[in-house]
Structure 1
Amino acid sequence: MSGAAVTAHARRHIRFTPRAAMLALVVTALLFYLVVPVRAYVTQRQRLDRLQRQTQVLQQQNAKLERQVAQLHDPAYIERIARECLGMVKKGEIGFIVVPRTGPPQPANC
Structure 2
Amino acid sequence: MAQKKRITAPGAQSRRKQRQVIRYTTVGAVIVAVIFFCILIVQGYEMMQIYQEQQHVQQQLEQLQQRNKELEAEKAKLSDPKYIESVARDELGLVRPGEVPYIK
TM-score by length of structure 2 reads 0.75
Identity %: 33
Which of the pair has the greater relative contact order for Cα pairs under 8 Å at 6+ separation? 1
Does 2:96 match 1:75? no
Amino acid at match of 2:76: A
Task: Give 5+ residue unaligned stretches, structure 2.
Answer: 1-21
Report the Cα distance in structure 2 between the residues aligned to 1:94 and 1:71, rounded to whole angstroms.
27
Of the three residues 48, 51, 74, the one matched with 1:45 is 51
CA RMSD of aligned residues (A): 1.4
Q: After the TM superposition, list the runs of 4 or more consecutive aligned residues in structure 1 that deviate by more than 2 angstroms.
A: none
Does 2:93 match 1:87? yes
Task: Give 5+ residue unaligned stretches, structure 1.
Answer: 1-15, 99-110
Report the Cα distance in structure 2 between the residues aligned to 1:17 and 1:87, rounded to whole angstroms.
96
Of the three residues 32, 56, 67, the one matched with 1:61 is 67
Count of residue pairs brought into register by the alignment: 83
